[in-house]
Amino acid sequence: MLLARRVDRLATVAAELERAGGRALALACDVTRTGDLERAVAQAREALGRLDVVVANAGFGVVGPLERLTLDDYRRQFETNVFGVLRTIYATLDDLKRSRGRLVIIGSVSGHVATPGSSPYAMSKFSVRALADALGHELAPSGVSVTLISPGFVESEIRQVDNRGTLRDAPPPSQAPAWLVMGTPRAARHIVRAIARRRREVVITGHGKLAVFLQRHVPWLVAWGVRRFGVKSRSEPARDGAR
């Protein structure tokens, strides 16, 4: 079952899966709308049978300094990145308990290390990390594993999405050198392996693992590095046609 707002993209992925011998159902869904997930899960259950793995992946990043952001910006961030994850879990939890399945929550290295200009996004990812930790304990007696995926710099469209969740034509210049960015297929292989092994958490990318390690053991060094080298979050993409 593939869920997203852009059905055309889903249809392409579904066709690839079916050509490879799998079964796929592509459905339009917005995790910020009450009822969308419940309807989609009911359709998937009818068409495909039981659910064994659920991946709560919907998310985007609100960026910018605090003084330029509003409470609505923070609410919008949490509506997708936190409450969207909760809606996904509530809609699928009974199915996962029946199958003793796997719940996967997509976090971020930003859920361990926050940088200037990323407070809404970092707050949301710190929140889902706490959620994954708590649910890992709560759901263990039911046989449901919880895996938190914390990517570093991975190839994606997130830099093209503005603070209102709208996809723009062109992203701002990347602040990460190309050699640090992991390709999507490679990251997907790491994620699939972690899910199969029912890992508690996996950090994707070597630099991400290093950042998390340093934050856990020498947080003062991370704080010094962020301030000394002026580390900042990515910029918000401009509106199409704007400069």
Active site residue 74: no
Active site residue 125: yes
Q: Considering 74, 97, 121, 232, which one is annotated as catalytic?
A: 121
- pLDDT in the model for residue 240: 57
- And the tokens for 124? 């949301």
Q: What's the predicted TM-score (pTM) here?
A: 0.92
Q: Which CATH code fits 51-228? A: 3.40.50.720
Alpha-carbon distances, residue 124 vs 16, 106, 127, 161, 171 (angstroms): 32, 11, 5, 16, 22
**189 pLDDT band (50/70/90 cuts)?**
very high
- The domain spans of the chain are 51-228
Q: Considering 74, 97, 125, 209, which one is annotated as catalytic?
A: 125
pLDDT tens per residue, range 104-162: 999 999 999 999 999 999 999 999 999 999 999 999 999 999 999 999 999 988 888 99
CA atoms in the 13 A half-sphere facing the CB of 188: 5
